Amino acid sequence: MGAVDSATPAVVDALAWVHVRDGRVLQVRPKGKDVFYFPGGKREPGENDAEALIREVAEEVSVQLDPATLQLFTVVDAAAHGYPEGTRVRLTCYTAECTGDLAPRSEIAELAWFTQADADRCAPAGVRVLAELAQRGLVTR
């Protein structure tokens, strides 16, 4: 057994759905958390990005993503909120059309629609994605 290099930071590999409507982007706040995140989460063993994101979004916000419309939006690297210091998150973000009515489910306490002005209420990776959305003119600054 080799020694673990404690200088190498842990990386959380996560997926997110970027859903923009009327110059605002959907965010979710899990129960017991103080910040908002993009809907999504981590893969289960054997899942690809599409399978994991479709499952996570249905579990969190009650809608079904159309896999035929899934498109990569961006990938960001940032400090992982709620993890030990030095832990990073690699957040792969997709856009996709959906069917159904948005509603909080499972561990989600509330849904909100954010502009870049709401960045102080987001986890660090969310701040980066909001900035990119604003730069591209997709959300209100």
Q: What is the pLDDT of residue 6?
A: 53
Domains for the chain: give ranges and CATH numbers: 11-135 (3.90.79.10)
Q: What is the pLDDT of residue 30?
A: 95
CA–CA separation, 115 vs 75, rounded Å?
Answer: 19
Give me the count of residues in the chain.
141
CA–CA separation, 116 vs 141, rounded Å?
Answer: 5
Neighbours of 2 (CB within 10 A): 4
Six-digit token pair at 118?
């709401």
Q: What is the pLDDT of residue 7?
A: 55
Residue 95, beta-bridge partner list: 71
What pTM does this model have?
0.90
Question: Which regions of 1-141 does DSSP assign to beta strands (E)?
Answer: 11-17, 20-21, 24-30, 40-41, 64-65, 71-79, 88-95, 98-99, 108-114
Six-digit token pair at 114?
């954010």
Q: What is the pLDDT of residue 139?
A: 95
Consecutive 10-residue averages of pLDDT for the chain (141 residues): 56 96 96 95 94 97 97 96 91 98 95 95 95 95 85
